[in-house]
Amino acid sequence: MFSAEISNNALLETFERWTDDFPSIIPWCVELGSSHSQFTVVIGTAIHGNETGSLPAVLNMIADLSEDNANLKARYFFILGNPDAVRQGTRFVERDLNRCFNLTDTKSLEGKRAIEIAKVLSEADLFIDYHQTNQPAVFPFFTFAYHEESYCWAAHMGGGEHFVTRDIKTAFSKEGLCGDEWLRQHGKPAVTLELGRAGLSRDAYQVTLSSLQRVIGFVETELEHGQKPQPSAPDSSRDLRFYQVVAKLPWPGDEAMLNPGFANFQYVKANEELGVVRPGEILRAPVEGFLMFPKYPKRDAQGKPIDHQDGDIVQIVQPLNEHPRRLWNH
């Protein structure tokens, strides 16, 4: 069923054929199920163009649901976030789409796409957004601000046991709002799952497919019984493990470089060598914990990053000692 050999163009073509059969109110979005339903699920894939790992399972799920479309109880939107970036095999074309949900940019390709996607998101009762990291991850993980309903969905859908979270008052990035943040600001649940290293893989396929099956199976069963789909919080034996960012190491300059091979959720000790600030000056972990989003930008012949780096070279997370509900439930 799964093949890692399929090209990005072939994935796009297959998705586009589904949009012919099941069009929605915006381009590159498949709508299935009952348009009169009281419950709408929105699934996001390839919001970042190089993060195609969820796409084969999303296509499978669309094919499965299409066979029983007339009997579906919920309405489903499947959004392919950034088709132009998928075609180019890049994270984005002009701007990071997942920082455009302030919806103020009406000029750039991604700014315009975010405004389109928000039209669909404004219909959502639940948004699940699949992402991948640039480097490998020790395991898949959820990452989003703490919001009780979103957390219950994450725990219920499975696919990850680890949850990097924060107070909902803290923005993910100062560059702009993410799609899931935008929906939570409107009081609706939204979940982001990081599947592992960007690109097609059997793991990404299986995690996406099993989590989609679980969510959609639950939604359909609840609606069939006349209930609003809302999973209860997991008991402590099945609960997620919670982490928060305790250190952000800003880019020290063009000569900075991490040692090769760091992965998301790789453990480091306090003071452990992470790389160099510049030749001869060691970059060290300020605290112990697990590495998050280590950056290895492409570099020119002089070793200078090709794209300007203004985020963090790496972050460090640590387990939370308390349930985030007790820390941040506003």
Burial label for 80, CB within 10 Å (0-12, 13-18, 19+), is buried
Site residue total, Zn ion (CB under 5 A): 3
Smallest distance, Å, CB 92 to Zn ion?
A: 10
Which region among 80-88, 131-139, 140-148, 262-270 touches Zn ion (by CB under 5 A)?
131-139
54 vs 72 by CB, closer to Zn ion:
54
Pick from 148, 139, 125: nearest CA to 193: 139
Helix/strand/coil for 148: helix
Residue nearest to Zn ion (CB): 131
Smallest distance, Å, CB 52 to Zn ion?
A: 11
48 vs 75 by CB, closer to Zn ion:
48
Smallest distance, Å, CB 129 to Zn ion?
A: 8
Q: How is the chain split among helix, strand and coil, in percent rounded to 5?
A: 30, 25, 45
Cα separation, 122 vs 128, in Å, equals 14
- Helices 148-157 and 202-224: crossing angle, nearest 10°? 110
Smallest distance, Å, CB 156 to Zn ion?
A: 22
Which region among 41-49, 115-123, 182-190, 209-217 touches Zn ion (by CB under 5 A)?
41-49
Pick from 79, 71, 69, 73: nearest CA to 29: 79
Pick from 163, 162, 156, 161: nearest CA to 212: 156
Cα separation, 325 vs 147, in Å, equals 8
131 vs 156 by CB, closer to Zn ion:
131
Which region among 46-54, 76-84, 105-113, 245-253 touches Zn ion (by CB under 5 A)?
46-54
Of the residues 75, 131, 162, 188, which one makes contact with Zn ion according to CB under 5 A: 131
Q: Does 48 bind Zn ion (CB under 5 A)?
A: yes
65 vs 264 by CB, closer to Zn ion:
264
Which region among 45-53, 122-130, 137-145, 320-328 touches Zn ion (by CB under 5 A)?
45-53
How does strand 289-292 pair with strand 312-319?
Answer: antiparallel
Q: Does 147 bind Zn ion (CB under 5 A)?
A: no
- Cα distances from 101 to residues 95, 114, 145, 182, in angstroms, run 12, 6, 16, 6
Smallest distance, Å, CB 226 to Zn ion?
A: 37
Q: Does 95 bind Zn ion (CB under 5 A)?
A: no
H helices present in 202-279, as ranges: 202-224
207 vs 219 by CB, closer to Zn ion:
207
132 vs 150 by CB, closer to Zn ion:
132
Binding site for Zn ion (CB under 5 A): 48, 51, 131
